Structure 1
Amino acid sequence: MPLEEPSPYEILGVPPTASAREILLAVGPAMRAGRYTRVEVQEAAALLRNPDKRLELDLQQPLPPEPVDRAAGLLAPALADPLLVVERPQPPPAASFLALHRAELAADFAEPAPSGTAPEPPVPARFAADLSVLPQIEVPE
C-alpha cells in the first residue's frame, strides 16, 4: 500500500501539460492497464477536466527542482578561498591548572583573620562624610 496517494496525472498517465482531449483519450488505456480502479480513473479524469479543481491541484503540487548545470562554476569563487582559520594559543599545562585550583581552594577555606587586628584603610578626603551631602533638617523645639 503506497504511503501517499497517486496524483490524477499518474493515474491517467498524462503530463501536467495535457489538454482536455489528451485526458479523455487517456481514460481508456488507464482502465485497461488495471493499476487503478474504475472509480479512481473516473475521479482523476473528472478532476483534471474541471479547470478550477485542476488549478487548485497544480498549485498544491511541489515543483520539481531545477537542474543546476553551472553549480560548480557558481561555487568556484567561494571554494577557492580557504575557510576562516582561527589560531588559538596553546593552553597552559594541566599542572598549572591544578596548582591554581588548589591555591584558590585553600584560600576559600582558610580561617578569616580576627577582627580588629588589621586597621581599616583610610578614606580619601573627597569621599569623607560631611554635612554638605545631607539635607537640612529642622529640629522641633
Structure 2
Amino acid sequence: MPLHEPSPYEVLGIPLTAGVREINLAVGPAMRAGRYTRQQIQEAAALLRNPDRRLEADLQRPLPPEPVDQAAELLAPALVEPLLVIERPPLPPAALPALHRAELAADFTEPAPGGADPEPPVPARYAADLSVLPQIEVPE
C-alpha cells in the first residue's frame, strides 16, 4: 500500500500542463502499464477532463518543492557558529550534606494534639536565623 494517494497526474503519467487530448491519449498506456487499477485510471482521467474539478484538485494538492542542489552552501553561514550555546554553572564542591536519621525523623513527627497554634511547628534546623537575612549596611 502506498504511503500517499497518488495524484491524477501520477496515475496517468502526464505533466501538470497536459490538455484534454494528452489526457485521453495517456489512458491507454496507463492501463497497459498496470501500476494502477482501471477504476483509479478512469477516475483520474474524468477528474482532469473536468476543468472545475481539476482546478479544485490542483489547489488542494500543492506542488512538491523543487530540489535545492546548493543546500550546503546556502546553510554554511548559519552553521559556522552553534545554534544554541548553553553555559553551565560550575559544579558545587564535592562535599555533600549529610542528613542523619534522627533529623529526618524529627521532620516527620506528628504535632502535639490540642495546640492553639494552627501552623505546624518548624523543625529547629529550618528555623529562621540571621543567616537567611541579607546583609544590610547601616548608614552612619
Normalising by structure 1, we get a TM-score of: 0.57
**Could you say which residue in structure 1 is the equivalent of 2:42?**
42
Change in 2 beyond 3 A, CA 1:62/1:94: farther
Equivalenced residues, count: 107
**Once superposed, which parts of structure 1, at least 4 consecutive aligned residues long, lie more than 6 Å away?**
none
CA distance in 2, matches of 1:2, 1:72: 31
1:47-95 Cα distance to aligned partner (Å, 9 max, x none): 1011111111112224312322333233222322355241422212243
Structure with max Cα Rg: 1
CA distance in 2, matches of 1:78, 1:13: 40
Q: Structure 1 unaligned segments of length 5 or more: list them.
A: 111-141
Between structures 1 and 2, the one with greater helix share: 1
**Could you say which residue in structure 2 is the equivalent of 1:121?**
none
CA distance in 2, matches of 1:2, 1:71: 29
CA distance in 1, matches of 2:37, 2:77: 54
CA distance in 2, matches of 1:66, 1:13: 19
Query: Where do residues 51-130 of structure 1 align in structure 2 (5 Å cutoff)?
Result: 51-82=51-82, 83-95=84-96, 97-98=97-98, 101-102=99-100, 105=103, 109=123
SS in 2 for 1:76: helix
The answer as to 2:10 corresponding to 1:14 is no
Change in 2 beyond 3 A, CA 1:88/1:64: same
- Which amino acid is 1:8 matched to? P
CA distance in 2, matches of 1:69, 1:33: 32
Q: CA RMSD in A?
A: 3.1
